């Protein structure tokens, strides 16, 4: 390593995209803190910057290139000429060579399954690009430093074998891989020495989890959740994101049996039209999705449901879109995320994009307003009721604390005592569009 970096070890990390990237950024932070680096919040103060990028939609990828352009200017102004820029994450995996061509001053490019090699790459300046799929080796070499968080993400599964025709994830994250049960438990036990009360299990297809147990046999997500719930200090468990075809009966059953498993399920469907679901290669129909929902409601009647939607997928007619709207009206999601279809390089549906932007925008706006109405109505239904909140952090105002309900709604309260890390029953006094105001 050059002397300047040795003396002046300040690292700036920016995370784009999903929670799995947030988790990975935390691991990158752990790796570099272990080498004596300090985290800084401003790129101007850093001599090493890591952009942990997302490739899911065109806008996400473009943002990275515009940030790289901005950083180039900052780099040129720096007196420390040894400033290094790393592009990590899913754009790095998908467009490693292109990044180096378009932006030659990017020093290192590292994919989501090989970022454990980053400290070495920087020390020796030998390899500029690493896009190997080294899931097993990666998890063995990561550090899981104890944090001060009340709630902690834990990646238990990575990659995807589903190949939805619109999606880059199988290419950027590789094949499905599950961490062994013991490794996951050890990571959580490591966190539980601190404040931690909630674990959010992550995976691109988290409910396809099939990790090795101590007896050498494969264990499913239900088994893992039950094992985690034996850790006294952990009071709340969540998991995301799930695919409808992997919602097994055992997983559905524990929603009714395990009180630490929160009554919230993020289950993307993408479209309410069977024709579009088939074109998307989602491997299930609308009715099959509804069957899963009915089973889960039978297991846990108050389950709060969330989903993802894509509008303007190639071939989506007005009627297909109407089917999505009718479907949403029927299911009543408590929250949902919706996006305009974005053609992605290398995916089967990339070349088929045929819905004009005006139609896409109109459909997105109609869907989002319906989803918002449902969310607002759901939140309003709790006004004057008591709810248990896990308070996680301070809010924007003085003496304000922010946390989550069991249904994953955001909630806030003003109080003179520090409520962080407490699970408290409070009364909901008001609901804003996206959060609940509470009183003790
Ligand atoms: N593994 C999850 C989600 C992965 S990506 C699942 O199975 O659903 C998160 C969301 O981004 C997807 O659910 C989808 O709604 C959206 N998305 C993915 N690719 C997209 C694309 N090409 N255009 C628009 N939205 C997309
Ligand atoms: Fe992408 Fe489909 Fe896999 Fe989800 S299930 S990550 S949408 S390919
Ligand atoms: Fe984006 Fe990669 Fe996550 S493409 S959504 S950062 S898995």
Q: Is the CB of 111 under 6 A from ligand 2?
A: no
Q: Where would I find the H helices in 381-434?
A: none
For residues 101 and 81, state if they share a domain. Answer: yes
pLDDT given at position 265: 98
Q: What is the DSSP string of 298-349?
A: HHSTT-EEEEEEEES-TT--HHHHHHHHHHHHHH--SEEEEEE----TTSTT
Count: domains in the chain: 3
For residues 230 and 296, state if they share a domain. Answer: yes
* 189-225 confidence digits (pLDDT tens): 998 877 899 999 999 999 999 999 999 999 999 999 9
For residues 362 and 419, state if they share a domain. Answer: no
Q: Which of 353, 377, 401 marks a domain boundary?
A: 377
pLDDT at 148 over 90: no
pLDDT given at position 77: 86
* 322-341 confidence digits (pLDDT tens): 999 999 999 999 999 999 99
* 363-391 confidence digits (pLDDT tens): 999 999 999 999 999 999 999 999 999 99
Residue 201, CA distances (Å) to 45, 126, 397 in order: 33, 35, 30
For residues 332 and 204, state if they share a domain. Answer: yes
Print the domain residue range for 108: 3-134
- Closest C-alpha to ligand 1, atom 7: 243
Q: Is the CB of 57 under 6 A from ligand 2?
A: no
Q: Is the CB of 166 under 6 A from ligand 1?
A: yes
- Tell how far the Cα of 393 is from the centroid of ligand 2, in angstroms: 32
- Closest C-alpha to ligand 2, atom 1: 167
* Distance between CA atoms of residues 318 and 356, nearest Å: 13
Q: Is the CB of 266 under 6 A from ligand 1?
A: no
For residues 392 and 367, state if they share a domain. Answer: no
CATH (domain of 395) = 2.40.50.140
pLDDT given at position 1: 43
For residues 353 and 298, state if they share a domain. Answer: yes
Q: Is the CB of 170 under 6 A from ligand 2?
A: yes
Q: Which atom of ligand 2 is nearest to the CA of 282?
A: 2
pLDDT given at position 411: 98
- Closest C-alpha to ligand 1, atom 5: 56
Query: Coil, strand, or helix at residue 46?
Result: coil
Mean of the per-residue pLDDT values for the chain?
Answer: 95
pLDDT given at position 5: 45
Q: Is the CB of 169 under 6 A from ligand 1?
A: yes
pLDDT at 347 over 90: yes
Residues facing 411 on adjacent strands = 403, 436
Mutation probe of ligand 2 site: the residue of 21, 159, 242, 243 with most atoms within 8 A of C-beta? 243
* 265-306 confidence digits (pLDDT tens): 999 999 999 999 999 999 999 999 999 999 999 999 999 999
* Distance between CA atoms of residues 145 and 25, nearest Å: 12
* Distance between CA atoms of residues 220 and 251, nearest Å: 8
* pTM for the whole structure: 0.96
Cα angle 113, 116, 118; round to 5: 110
- Closest C-alpha to ligand 2, atom 5: 162
For residues 60 and 189, state if they share a domain. Answer: no
For residues 417 and 270, state if they share a domain. Answer: no
- Tell how far the Cα of 400 is from the centroid of ligand 1, in angstroms: 34
Q: Which of 134, 149, 168 marks a domain boundary?
A: 134
CATH (domain of 169) = 3.80.30.20
Pairing of strands 129-130, 108-110: parallel
Q: Which atom of ligand 1 is nearest to the CA of 344?
A: 22
For residues 288 and 337, state if they share a domain. Answer: yes
CATH (domain of 115) = 3.40.50.12160
Q: Which is nearest to 151 in space by CA: 254, 208, 236, 239?
A: 236
- Closest C-alpha to ligand 3, atom 6: 54
pLDDT at 6 over 60: no
Q: How many CB atoms lie within 10 A of CB 393?
A: 13
For residues 229 and 356, state if they share a domain. Answer: yes
Q: Is the CB of 60 under 6 A from ligand 1?
A: no
- Closest C-alpha to ligand 3, atom 7: 169
- Closest C-alpha to ligand 3, atom 1: 54
Q: Is the CB of 207 under 6 A from ligand 1?
A: no
Residues contacting residue 216 through CB under 8 Å, at least 6 positions apart: none
Number of H helices and E strands in the chain, helices first, is: 14, 21
Residues flanking ligand 3, CB < 6 Å: 17-18, 20-21, 54-56, 89-90, 168-169, 172-173, 204
Q: Where would I find the H helices in 192-261?
A: 221-229, 249-257
For residues 121 and 252, state if they share a domain. Answer: no
């Amino acid at each position: 390593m050059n002397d300047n970096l040795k003396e002046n070890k300040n690292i700036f990390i920016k995370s784009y995209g999903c929670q799995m990237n947030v988790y990975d950024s935390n691991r990158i932070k752990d790796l570099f803190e272990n080498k004596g680096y300090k985290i800084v919040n401003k790129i101007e103060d850093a001599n090493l910057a890591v952009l942990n990028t997302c490739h899911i939609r065109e806008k996400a990828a473009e943002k990275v290139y515009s940030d790289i352009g901005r950083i180039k200017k900052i780099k040129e102004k720096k007196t420390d000429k040894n400033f290094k820029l790393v592009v990590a994450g899913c754009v790095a995996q998908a467009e490693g060579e292109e990044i180096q061509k378009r932006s030659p001053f990017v020093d290192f490019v590292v994919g989501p399954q090989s970022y454990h090699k980053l400290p070495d790459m920087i020390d020796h300046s030998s390899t500029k690009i690493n896009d190997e799929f080294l899931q097993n080796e990666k998890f063995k070499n990561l550090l899981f430093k104890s944090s001060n968080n009340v709630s902690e993400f834990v990646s238990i599964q990575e990659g995807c074998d589903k190949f939805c025709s619109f999606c880059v994830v199988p290419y950027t994250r590789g094949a499905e891989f599950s961490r062994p049960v013991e490794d996951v438990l050890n990571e959580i036990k490591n966190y539980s020495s601190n404040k931690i009360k909630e674990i959010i299990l992550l995976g691109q297809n988290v409910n396809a989890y099939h990790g090795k147990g101590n007896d050498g046999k494969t264990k499913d997500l239900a088994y893992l959740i039950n094992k985690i719930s034996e850790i006294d200090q952990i009071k709340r468990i969540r998991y995301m994101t799930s695919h409808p075809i992997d919602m097994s009966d055992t997983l559905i059953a524990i929603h009714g049996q395990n009180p630490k498993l929160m009554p919230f399920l993020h289950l993307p469907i993408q479209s309410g039209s069977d024709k579009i679901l088939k074109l998307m290669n989602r491997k299930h129909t609308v009715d099959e999705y509804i069957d899963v929902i009915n089973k889960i409601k039978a297991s846990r009647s108050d389950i709060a449901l969330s989903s993802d939607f894509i509008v303007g997928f190639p071939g989506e007619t007005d009627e297909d879109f109407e089917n999505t709207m009718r479907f949403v009206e029927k299911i009543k999601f408590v929250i949902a995320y919706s996006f305009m279809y974005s053609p992605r390089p290398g995916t089967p549906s990339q070349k088929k994009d045929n819905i004009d932007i005006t139609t896409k925008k109109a459909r997105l706006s109609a869907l989002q307003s319906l989803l918002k109405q449902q969310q607002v109505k759901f939140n309003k239904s709790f006004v004057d009721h008591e709810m248990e909140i896990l308070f996680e952090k301070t809010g924007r105002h003085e003496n304000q604390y922010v946390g989550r309900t069991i249904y994953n709604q955001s909630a806030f309260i003003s109080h003179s005592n520090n409520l962080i890390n407490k699970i408290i029953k409070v009364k909901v006094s008001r609901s804003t569009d996206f959060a609940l105001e509470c009183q003790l």
